[in-house]
Amino acid sequence: MAGTPSRSASGAPTIFDVAKAAGVSHQTVSRVINRDPTVRPHMRARVTDAITTLGYRPRAAARALARGTNRALGLVTTGGALHGPASTGLGFNQAARRSGYHVLMADLDEPQPETMREAVETLLGHDVAAIVLVAADATALAALAALPVPVPVPLITANGVPGQPGGGIAVSIDQRAGATLGVRYLLDAGHRRILHIAGPTVSQEAVLRCDAYVDTVTEAGLEALVVRGDWTPESGYRAASTLDVDAVDAVFCANDQMALGVLRAFAERGVRVPDDVALVGFDDIPEAAYFTPPLTTVRQDFAALGGRILATVDRLLAGGPASDDTSQQPSLVVRESA
């Protein structure tokens, strides 16, 4: 038998630990716990020995899960106070609670393999029926992919992309479609020198938005102009403060917070929006309608996304297909900045 594996953050052994010690899959451990008669005797003995050695105690809630009666769900959020991840987590939490689920949450500001493992094991220790990961960037997906064994319950990644590392079902808002909406709106208005202030490259959403911008302006026969930001108003302010405003006639920001910084810098420089330079953002944060001028932006409906995530959870728990959902379509909100 292998040496005693590391325990969960609480110190209690998990089903992962039992599986590693017995040299079997977590599914086999689950079948032994639930007295599945199809498990071969020698495999059952190995699992039983590991359970005894580690002092693993299946909880009553685990038996409820086996009967399909568990109403607890796990939610791992990353991205801290960023609007998209925070709103996605809130939208799912509200939808789940309305449907009678208990949601257990783990917040990882900077997800690493060890903190992701601890979060997942803690949630599994509370016998959640499924786990939802709000993946703010590639760091969260890499930490998920580094788990020593697959997650033994349905795993849904919010704002992920199909085929991502770490597995799970991706439920997302179509970032490429949203960016294309914003850029085409500027093109249709006659703008031909459109700058994109992009988000950080670690963000899968930022990469998709930037790729869509480049593709759309290139297809229109125009030059792609990209400046990299970091989601904050400060990065938008810095970009606009040094921008040659005679070289552009529109700016497409990868989020509304950077657009806010652009507005401040332009106001200080006497650049009029939209008369001199048009401006389009992304997200439609609650404050966007109250910017000066009110911001034209791409709207992501995070409440609807939360409902779609929950519907995917329900489908998987009912034994439905595990294929990726189609992406939710964003919309364009036209205000006075463009």
Task: Out of 136-150, 156-170, 202-216, 313-327, give the one with best mean pLDDT.
Answer: 202-216
pLDDT of residue 139: 86
Higher pLDDT, 8 or 124: 124
pLDDT of residue 141: 85
Number of H helices and E strands in the chain, helices first, is 12, 11
Question: Half-sphere exposure of 197 toward its Cβ, with a 13 Å CA cutoff?
Answer: 33
Separation CA 1–CA 99 (nearest Å)? 44
Residue recorded with tokens 């949630």: 123
Higher pLDDT, 43 or 239: 239
Higher pLDDT, 13 or 255: 255
Tokens of 46: 């190995």
pLDDT tens string 85-105:
889 999 999 999 999 999 999
pLDDT of residue 81: 77
Element (H, E) at 269: helix 256-269
Using the predicted structure, report yes or no on whether residue 9 has a pLDDT greater than 60.
Answer: no
pLDDT of residue 162: 60
pLDDT of residue 302: 92
Of 79, 300, 313, the residue nearest 174 (C-alpha): 300
pLDDT of residue 8: 46
N-term to C-term CA, the chain: 67
Using the predicted structure, report yes or no on whether residue 5 has a pLDDT greater than 50.
Answer: no
Using the predicted structure, report yes or no on whether residue 279 has a pLDDT greater than 60.
Answer: yes
Name the pLDDT band for 165 (thresholds 50, 70, 90). low
pLDDT of residue 28: 84
Q: What is the DSSP letter of 290?
A: G
CB neighbour class for 11 (10 Å; exposed up to 12, middle 13-18, buried from 19) = exposed
CB 330, CB 284: distance < 8 Å: no
| Of the candidate ranges 71-75, 119-123, 138-142, 213-217, the one whose mean pLDDT is the lowest | 138-142
Of 138, 122, 174, 130, the residue nearest 156 (C-alpha): 130
Task: Out of 75-79, 127-131, 189-193, give the one with best mean pLDDT.
Answer: 189-193
Q: What is the DSSP letter of 302?
A: H
Mean residue pLDDT of the chain comes to 87
CB 317, CB 130: distance < 8 Å: yes
Domains of the chain by start residue, with CATH: 15-58 (1.10.260.40), 70-173+303-328 (3.40.50.2300), 175-299 (3.40.50.2300)
pLDDT of residue 11: 61
Using the predicted structure, report yes or no on whether residue 121 has a pLDDT greater than 60.
Answer: yes
pTM of the model: 0.77
CB 163, CB 190: distance < 8 Å: no
Tokens of 114: 């060890």
pLDDT of residue 2: 37
Separation CA 144–CA 148 (nearest Å)? 9
**What number is the average pLDDT over the span 260-268?**
98
Question: Half-sphere exposure of 324 toward its Cβ, with a 13 Å CA cutoff?
Answer: 17
Q: What SS3 state is found at 281?
A: strand
| Of the candidate ranges 141-155, 253-267, 294-308, the one whose mean pLDDT is the lowest | 141-155
Of 306, 300, 261, the residue nearest 279 (C-alpha): 261
CB 92, CB 158: distance < 8 Å: yes
Separation CA 186–CA 304 (nearest Å)? 27
pLDDT of residue 94: 93
Q: Percentage of residues in the chain with pLDDT exceeding 70?
A: 88
